[in-house]
């Protein structure tokens, strides 16, 4: 008896893609658009660190149907006679059959499984249609399967910058006060001439994944003598330019 559908092919055909990932509900860009061929499940970009050593196949969306790049799929199975379409300069193949109600067949090529009109010389409109046709007539899929030990995502695949730290998203960021090496800026404000306030700036560096945030102010009281001393150091004898 010949080989039937391998587990990864069955998963590619039955798994639901472009639905929210239940493991990363609170994360952005959590649509499941990758099929892990070793685990036979659909995953989202945030799941990739847990599957980084597995064979990963990106699933795309074209006219409301799931497609995969022809270049990637041909590493797994023979895709000859399957009509491909071009998306962003890349050829893609539909995963599932797309039957249509057609009462009359004119001249031209038609899909062997769903009677969809095709360009010559193609006879299958999707991967699913070819697999069904092969199993129907040959009863064995093994001559069409290809040995593939590694399969990585393309360079255009969107990878969230913080996906490695997803488990820390609910953790409260810590803040650390760092004294500035330069002397603080200060200015004064008086209230009924009785008290002077100087506002000195210090830096607060907040440790977050997205970067460093510098802000905050601290207030300190200064005496009238310190303020007068500070003012006297700033003032000097004015110098005028010589007359020509």
Mean pLDDT of 76-97: 94
Cβ-count burial of 179 within 10 angstroms (0-12 exposed, 13-18 middle, 19+ buried)? exposed
Instruction: Determine the pLDDT at residue 212.
Output: 37
pLDDT > 70 fraction of the chain, expressed in percent and rounded: 62
Mean pLDDT of 207-218: 39
Q: Is the per-residue pLDDT at 38 higher than 50?
A: yes
Half-sphere exposure of 103 (CA within 13 A, CB side): 0
Instruction: Determine the pLDDT at residue 180.
Output: 41
Mean pLDDT of 109-114: 87
pLDDT (tens digit, 9 = 90+) per residue, 172-197?
Answer: 333 333 344 444 444 444 444 444 44
Mean pLDDT of 100-111: 72
Arithmetic mean of pLDDT over the chain: 75
CA pseudo-torsion sign 43, 45, 50, 56:
positive
**Position 223 confidence tier, pLDDT thresholds 50, 70, 90:** low
Task: For residue 61, give the H/E element and its range.
Answer: strand 60-62
Cα–Cα dist 61/227, whole Å: 69
Residue 142, C-beta contacts closer than 8 angstroms, at least 6 positions apart: 2, 3
């Amino acid at each position: 008896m010949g080989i039937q559908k391998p587990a990864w092919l069955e998963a590619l055909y039955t798994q639901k893609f472009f639905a929210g990932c239940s493991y990363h509900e609170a994360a952005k860009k959590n649509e499941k658009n990758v099929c892990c061929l070793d685990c036979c499940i659909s995953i989202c970009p945030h799941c990739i660190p847990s599957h980084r050593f597995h064979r990963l196949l990106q699933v795309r969306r074209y006219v409301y149907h799931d497609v995969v790049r022809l270049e990637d799929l041909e590493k797994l199975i023979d895709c000859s006679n399957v009509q491909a379409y071009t998306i962003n300069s890349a050829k893609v193949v539909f995963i599932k059959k797309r039957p249509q109600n057609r009462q009359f067949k004119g001249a031209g090529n038609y899909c062997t499984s769903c009677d969809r009109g095709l360009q010559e010389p193609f006879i299958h409109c999707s991967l699913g249609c070819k697999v069904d046709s092969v199993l129907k007539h040959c009863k064995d899929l093994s001559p069409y399967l290809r040995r593939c030990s590694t399969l990585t995502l393309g360079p255009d695949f969107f990878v969230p910058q913080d996906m490695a730290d997803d488990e820390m998203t609910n953790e409260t960021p810590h803040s650390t006060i760092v004294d500035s090496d330069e002397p603080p800026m200060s200015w004064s404000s008086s209230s009924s001439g009785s008290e002077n306030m100087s506002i000195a700036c210090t830096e607060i560096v907040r440790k977050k994944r997205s970067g460093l945030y510098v802000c905050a102010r601290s207030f300190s009281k200064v005496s009238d003598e310190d303020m007068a001393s500070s003012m006297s150091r700033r003032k000097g004898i004015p110098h005028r330019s010589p007359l020509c």
